[in-house]
């Protein structure tokens, strides 16, 4: 049995567009909550990859005591250290010591101070430095710019592709939906105060592509149904197209979600932020391809009709999925 032959739903006749106000409210709640958190609560909790700093990961024979580690840092006059004990998997006996960094000149001294504090308070056999690295503020700002440009260029490229394959409104709707997904995902990081690192940016870029692919599948079915259902309204065509692709969407997204959920549960602290982005992003991306991107085509047509302009939506070129 081939994957494409599997159908969870047959003859689905859900009127998705009649629920547009519910979907709008759902999106607004999570978007506004995330934006408020980013502005007034946890802000955007970026890691040292972007803000600069020193991070030392230390392993112990037994689960480390955070208070003892903090006292060791205090005795070495390191009062601004953030100490986090890792949990789960093989990292249960590890701790991460993080120091902020005010300038590029004290990069090596901060790392040396932490290593010295550990050496002064623990026997050599009672701990092991697994990893230690430093990112200066200048490099952090550069990485922030590069990450932002990476996301923007990926969205711009997808807009141009969909404009060429379909027409501009398809590309605009897809990019708005993906921006919606990215905003909510980052909002969840702010709400739960989980640091955004370079691996999280990689996860977000992965989600941009995943969500866009899901949206293109629905758009391609709309393109086909525009040719087959010439007398139907655009709302009917969009509803039919979403229902036609529902089995594929649920099966593909469901299997991917179960995989990243296992990664989130069993992957340990090191993969926690990366897998969290994938878990949230896949759920939101699947939702937006159904409830945000496709209905936006109908909203655009209704807006043009209210302005007395042509409302004919074309099928464009055939898309390759």
Distances (CA, A) of 43 to 34, 38, 179, 205: 9, 4, 18, 21
Contacts of 117 (CB under 8 A, 6+ apart): 72, 73, 75, 76, 78
Map out the domains of the chain with their CATH numbers. 3-46+140-306 (1.20.1640.10), 53-135 (3.30.70.3400)
Q: pLDDT tens across 155-181, in order?
A: 888 888 888 888 888 889 999 999 999
d(CA 252, CA 94): 36
How many beta carbons lie within 10 A of that of residue 263, not counting itself?
Answer: 17
Q: pLDDT tens across 99-153, in order?
A: 887 565 566 677 788 888 888 888 777 788 888 888 777 777 888 888 888 888 9
Supply φ then ψ for residue 225, to 5 degrees. Answer: -70, -25
Contacts of 241 (CB under 8 A, 6+ apart): 218, 221, 222, 224, 225, 294
pLDDT for 321 beyond 60:
no
Q: pLDDT tens across 52-69, in order?
A: 888 888 888 888 888 888
pLDDT for 14 beyond 90:
no
Q: Among 61, 168, 138, 76, which Cα is nearest to 113's?
A: 76
Contacts of 177 (CB under 8 A, 6+ apart): 211, 215, 288, 289, 292, 293, 296
Mean pLDDT of 278-307: 89
Q: What percent of the chain has pLDDT over 70?
A: 88
Mean pLDDT of 78-102: 77
Query: What's the predicted TM-score (pTM) here?
Result: 0.82
């Amino acid at each position: 049995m081939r994957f494409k032959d599997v159908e969870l739903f047959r003859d689905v006749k859900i009127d998705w567009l009649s629920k547009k106000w519910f979907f709008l409210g759902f999106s607004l709640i999570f978007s506004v909550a995330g934006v408020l958190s980013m502005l007034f609560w946890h802000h955007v909790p970026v890691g040292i990859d972007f803000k600069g700093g020193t991070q030392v990961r230390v392993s112990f024979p037994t689960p480390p005591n955070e208070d003892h580690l903090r006292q060791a840092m205090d005795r070495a006059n390191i009062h601004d250290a953030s100490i986090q004990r890792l949990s789960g998997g093989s990292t249960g006996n590890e701790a991460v010591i993080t120091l902020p960094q005010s300038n590029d000149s004290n990069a090596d001294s901060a790392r040396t101070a932490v290593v010295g504090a550990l050496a002064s308070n623990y026997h050599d056999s009672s701990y092991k430095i697994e990893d230690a690295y430093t990112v200066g503020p200048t490099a952090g700002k550069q990485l922030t710019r590069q990450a932002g440009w990476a996301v923007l260029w990926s969205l711009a490229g997808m807009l141009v592709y969909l404009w060429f394959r379909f027409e501009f409104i398809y590309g605009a709707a897809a990019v708005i939906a993906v921006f919606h997904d990215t905003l909510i995902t980052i909002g969840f990081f702010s709400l739960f105060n989980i640091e955004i690192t370079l691996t999280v940016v990689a996860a977000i870029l992965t989600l941009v592509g995943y969500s866009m692919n899901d949206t293109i599948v629905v758009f391609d079915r709309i393109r086909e149904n525009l040719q087959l259902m010439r007398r139907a309204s655009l709302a009917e065509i969009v509803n039919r197209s979403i229902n036609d692709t529902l089995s594929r969407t649920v099966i593909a997204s469901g299997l991917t979600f179960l995989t990243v959920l296992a990664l989130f549960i069993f992957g340990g602290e090191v993969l926690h932020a990366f897998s969290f982005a994938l878990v949230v992003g896949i759920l939101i991306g699947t939702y937006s391809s159904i409830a945000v991107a496709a209905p936006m085509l109908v909203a655009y047509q209704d807006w043009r009709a209210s302005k007395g302009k042509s409302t004919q939506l074309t099928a464009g070129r055939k898309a390759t999925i």
